[in-house]
Chains A and B, each alone.
Chain A
């Protein structure tokens, strides 16, 4: 098995031509893009519509928009921002954050989102995933999983789902949860390592690999990207179908084309 996998790496990772996706992520609070370091230290990186347009021009494969706005007034702003992005950006747009009900999903899809990402609400009410997948189609239902490593007593790695920005344990095994969400109709998993998010130390590849191996649906790796090698590792070692990053793109360290050139040079199929 291992031999076969490494043999194909030397040929072409993805011989059928489907490109691995690069997804810049905008964390948005009251209509402005921010990026927290471990969700605490927040810096302002500008207007979400302009930034989404810039990523579209750079050749990003999708854009992800995570709404971290707390107030209900702010939610109105979010809907308006999604509408504006959808009018100007003709690549897939995923919207997450604060999605609690079928009505919330409908609001975001009607505003122009192509997919919505459901996180805590799926934990409180897994049926929401089934219901919304039946109503709107699996293709637009992304389940976001925030995982933290909590090793077993025997030292075996295990990952558990945490809520509230990584502060609250749920006791739910992340891999088993991903399998269940796929069974309920999720079309994609957005996996964030809470140990790595904001650290720039790279994806937590153990949980990425465990989940990509366990489910048939695509997995987006997120949390911890600090270098272009991290993006490569997410695909080659983690087995991710897409890689999501924020700060390395927002602050101009790397452009999307630079990331794609780097990945392509390492045998990864990308869209250019």
Chain B
């Protein structure tokens, strides 16, 4: 039983896909909300995000979603999944929009991919990093269950995460640099890619999230 899944809505972009993907893989109930009571009652919390970090951070703070997220993270039995800008918002600081302070929940930074960005052979790489890339699983985790190492997920981002504590790294992706694709700590799993747009692999990860007890 997945119970009630709260998708935190701080007004930035379309959360329709995340909600329908969760429903598709069998969530009992999905609510897209910034209502404090609903988020406190939730059995699972999804912290998504699209768009520019400065606007995201200001809405997250204005709607007090930062406090709600911090509360959820203290409850070991409430699994939390952060997606894309949701992951970036957890870090200390982002280089986007001339530098923006983020939530500081995970020590580390969000860096620009660089321009020009090249691979090891000097070939130019386009920014944003957009499309299906291989995620190298860095450790076992219940959310990787049934997903082979180096499975492709859908990414779209121009800034990438680098966590200071490398023991948190659950998955990495190579794109000119080695970027953090997934971080895991206690009841938190945070991904740079979009599981809701990553076809079967993404749906498997979301199903694993619904079955996860928050332990790892």
Binding site for B on A (CB under 8 A): 4, 8, 11, 15-21, 56, 59, 61, 83, 86-88, 90-92, 109-114, 134-140, 187-188, 216-218, 241-242, 271
The contact of B134 among A17, A109, A139, A218, by CB within 8 Å, is: A17
Q: Is the CB of A18 within 8 A of B120?
A: no
Most B CB contacts (10 A, CB to CB) among A18, A88, A91, A140 go to A18
Of A83, A92, A134, A242, most B-chain CB atoms within 10 Å: A92
Judged by DSSP, the binding face of B is mixed
Checking B127, B154, B174, B202 against A216 with a beta-carbon cut-off of 8 angstroms, the contacting residue is B127
B118's closest neighbor in chain A, by CB?
A16
Please measure, in the bound complex, the distance between the C-alpha atom of A20 and the C-alpha atom of B129, giving whole angstroms.
12
Collect the chain B residues with CB atoms within 8 Å of residue A11's CB.
121
Q: How many whole Å from B57's CB to the nearest CB in chain A?
A: 14
CA of A109 to CA of B51 in the docked complex: distance in angstroms?
A: 12
Tell me whether A271 and B132 are in contact (CB under 8 A). Answer: yes
Bound complex: CA of A113 vs CA of B116, how far in Å?
Answer: 30
Name A241's contact: one of B13, B120, B130, B152 (CB within 8 Å): B130
User: Smallest Cβ distance from A237 to chain B, in angstroms?
Assistant: 15
A90 touches B133 (CB 8 A): no
B interface bracket (residues with beta carbon within 8 Å of A): 35 or more
Q: Quick one: which of B115, B127, B199 has the most chain A CB within 10 A? A: B199
**A114 and B17 contacting across the interface, CB-CB below 8 Å:** yes
**Contacts A11-B121, A111-B16, A114-B17 supplied; 20 other A-B pairs, CB < 8 Å:** A4-B122, A15-B123, A16-B133, A16-B176, A17-B173, A19-B152, A20-B131, A90-B199, A92-B156, A112-B20, A114-B197, A136-B13, A136-B51, A137-B50, A138-B128, A139-B128, A216-B115, A216-B126, A241-B126, A271-B132
B residues near A109, Cβ cutoff 8 Å: 13-14
Q: Which of B16, B50, B122, B175 contacts A18 (CB 8 A)?
A: B175
In the complex, chain B residues whose CB is within 8 Å of the CB of A8? 121, 123
Whether A137 and B134, one on each chain, are in contact in the complex, defined by CB atoms closer than 8 angstroms, is no
- A112 and B15 CA atoms in complex are apart in Å by 8
25 contacts between A and B (CB under 8 A): A15-B120, A15-B123, A16-B119, A16-B125, A16-B133, A17-B134, A17-B175, A18-B131, A19-B152, A59-B199, A61-B154, A88-B24, A90-B196, A92-B197, A110-B16, A112-B14, A137-B13, A139-B50, A139-B128, A139-B130, A187-B130, A216-B115, A218-B126, A241-B126, A241-B131
Chain A residues contacting B208 (CB-CB under 8 Å) are none
Contact A61 B52 (CB under 8 A): no
For residue B203, which residues in chain A have a CB less than 8 angstroms away from its CB? 90
Rounded to whole angstroms, the CA-CA distance of A4 and B132 in the bound complex is: 25
Q: Which residues of B contact A87 (CB under 8 A)?
A: 20, 24
Q: Which of B11-25 contact A (CB under 8 A)?
A: 13-14, 16-17, 20-21, 24
Partner of A134, one of B52, B119, B194: B52
9 tightest A-B CB contacts, nearest first? A137-B51, A271-B132, A17-B134, A109-B14, A19-B132, A139-B156, A112-B16, A16-B119, A271-B152
